[in-house]
């Protein structure tokens, strides 16, 4: 559907957004499944079994990262490449899941209705019609704060925007508009902007969870370490630490 617009490190997201009539998808299910706790729970349970992550809150957070990465990154690239916003009505979409029950593809059941006449930097449909209902369901189901899920979504969005800026294939003014959006508490239409202040600056001399120098980190922890086997992400604010100076021995 938009495959020609995905390059380099973004190429793996080229087949996320598709027309449902482009090919038969035997494993396609209604996207509304993601907003129904009774139908979502089997997906989360299967994901937890495959990834050895059974603590409900950590499991939901980890599963959500795949959803936000695939849909959020694909939407960002498609909208900025075409300069047209997409409509995301979960009642008119289908999804295809990978073997681990993560969302791999999003199918538009009516391809002509997918592209709106709004400019590409308008992500209100992605935020309000796709992300928000799923986040509400996940939060209520596993009793994890919605801000954790919004942070997960924003981190991938920010990473993909940075990659587009590096590639320099999209007109810089489009990229600048979205970058400016991430500095605003609200969207231009007055709606909630979940991509605001996703990261925070780290003091000089900060090391990340891998012991590497770091200038910024996530503002919020994703809480995956509620599953003891997972631990903290390397860019988690709780993993940041200062490099200790060598101490003289006597």
Q: pLDDT by residue (tens digit) across 185-217?
A: 999 889 999 999 899 999 999 999 999 999 999
Q: Do β-strands 103-108 and 216-218 pair in parallel, antiparallel, or remain unpaired? A: unpaired
The residue ranges of every structural domain in the chain are 3-197, 198-244
Residue 54 has pLDDT above 80, yes or no: yes
Residue the block writes with tokens 């538009």: 108
What are the pLDDT digits (tens) for 118-132? 999 999 999 999 999
Rounded Cα–Cα distance for residues 41 and 174 (Å): 39
202 or 249, which is more confident = 202
Query: In which element (H, E) is residue 243 found?
Result: none
Tokens of 15: 């087949």
Q: Per-residue pLDDT tens for 215-227?
A: 999 999 999 999 9
What is the rounded CA–CA span in Å between residue 147 and residue 153?
Answer: 10
Please write the tens of the pLDDT for every residue from 2-46: 999 999 999 999 999 998 775 556 688 999 999 999 999 999 999
Cα of 148 vs its chain's centroid, Å = 12
**Phi, psi torsion values for 103, nearest 5 degrees:** -70, 120
Phi first, then psi: what are they for 237, rounded to 5°? -60, -25
Q: Which CATH number is correct for 3-197, 1.10.3470, 1.10.510, 2.60.40, 3.10.50?
A: 1.10.510
Helix axes of 146-167 and 132-142: crossing angle, nearest 10 degrees = 140
Whether the CA torsion 159, 145, 202, 123 is positive or negative: it is: positive
Rounded to an integer, what distance in angstroms lies between the CA atom of residue 238 and that of residue 206? 12
Mean pLDDT, the chain, rounded, equals 91
Scan for tokens 């509620």, then name that residue. 226
d(CA 72, CA 158): 10
3-state secondary structure of 241: strand
Euclidean distance between CA atoms 186 and 193, whole angstroms: 5
């Amino acid at each position: 559907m938009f495959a020609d617009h995905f390059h380099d490190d973004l190429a793996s997201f080229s087949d996320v957004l598709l027309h449902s009539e482009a090919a038969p998808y035997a494993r396609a299910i209604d996207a509304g499944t993601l907003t129904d706790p009774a139908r979502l729970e089997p997906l989360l349970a299967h994901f937890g079994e495959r990834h050895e992550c059974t603590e409900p809150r950590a499991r939901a957070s980890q599963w959500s990262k795949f959803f936000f990465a695939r849909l959020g990154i694909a939407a960002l690239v498609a909208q900025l490449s075409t300069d047209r916003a997409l409509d995301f009505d979960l009642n008119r979409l289908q999804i295809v899941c990978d073997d681990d029950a993560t969302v791999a593809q999003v199918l538009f059941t009516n391809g002509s209705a997918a592209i709106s006449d709004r400019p590409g930097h308008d992500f209100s449909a992605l935020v309000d019609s796709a992300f928000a209902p799923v986040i509400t369901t996940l939060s209520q189901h596993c009793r994890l704060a919605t801000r954790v899920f919004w942070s997960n979504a924003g981190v991938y969005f920010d990473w993909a925007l940075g990659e587009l800026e590096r590639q320099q294939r999209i007109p810089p003014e489009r990229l600048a508009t979205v970058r400016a959006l991430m500095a605003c508490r609200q969207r231009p239409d007055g709606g909630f902007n979940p991509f605001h202040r996703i990261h925070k600056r780290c003091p000089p001399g900060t090391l990340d969870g891998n012991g590497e120098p770091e200038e910024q980190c996530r503002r919020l922890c994703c809480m995956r370490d509620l599953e003891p086997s997972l631990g903290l992400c390397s860019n988690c604010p709780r993993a940041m630490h200062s490099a200790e100076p060598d101490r003289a021995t006597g």
